[in-house]
Amino acid sequence: METRVLVRIALFAALLAVLGLFPKFDVPIAGGVPITMQSLGVMLAGVLLGPRHGTLAVLLFAFVVLLGAPLLAGGRGGIGVLAGPTAGFFIGWIPGAAVAGWLMGRLSRLPVLAAGVLASVVGGIAVDYLFGIAWLSYAAGLGVSRATLGTLVFLPGDLIKAFAAGCVAEAARRLEPSRFTEAS
């Protein structure tokens, strides 16, 4: 792997860590799952780095968190994050970034803004919610329908993050048009 690719992967892992510095907002009806900015970083990793490199950035971040670095919103870290109600959303970031990146590459005929928003909605929201709701239902002892309803409170904010990811992708295309014609 080229040095510039490794640097981009490390920078996006660092971006995920920085987004964890934003205060989390706990939602009592969501089974202990907080609203955070880190899902925006997952969307951006997939959309801007592509499926392979975006996934590697999220995997690097997850590895550092599991080693104990308190990089998740609210200063959480360590292997214990896999035992709480948010574990499914945390794990869902990995396939979420992969799907967002894959879909971004498949939507190359669309304007970059639209492709970025759609890829972020499918990968960063739908895929992540699939993992998150399944685990939340199990870990919190909720039925799937109750876990789904509790998670819907996050949808408006996540849609705003998806739009923001699309806007960043459009801005990146204007700065470096070749990034959206290369396979990554």
* CA 169/CA 151 separation, integer angstroms: 26
Confidence at residue 134, expressed as pLDDT on a 0 to 100 scale:
96
| pLDDT beyond 70 at 25 | no
Residue 85 belongs to domain with CATH number: 1.10.1760.20
| pLDDT beyond 60 at 169 | yes
Q: Which domain holds residue 83?
A: 3-180
> Where is 26: in which H helix or E strand?
strand 25-26
| pLDDT beyond 90 at 10 | yes
Cβ–Cβ < 8 Å for 24, 76: no
Cβ–Cβ < 8 Å for 174, 56: no
| pLDDT beyond 90 at 112 | yes
115-155 pLDDT per residue, tens: 999 999 999 999 999 999 999 999 988 899 999 998 888 89
* Percent with pLDDT over 70 in the chain: 90
pTM recorded for the entire structure? 0.90
- Structural domain count, the chain: 1
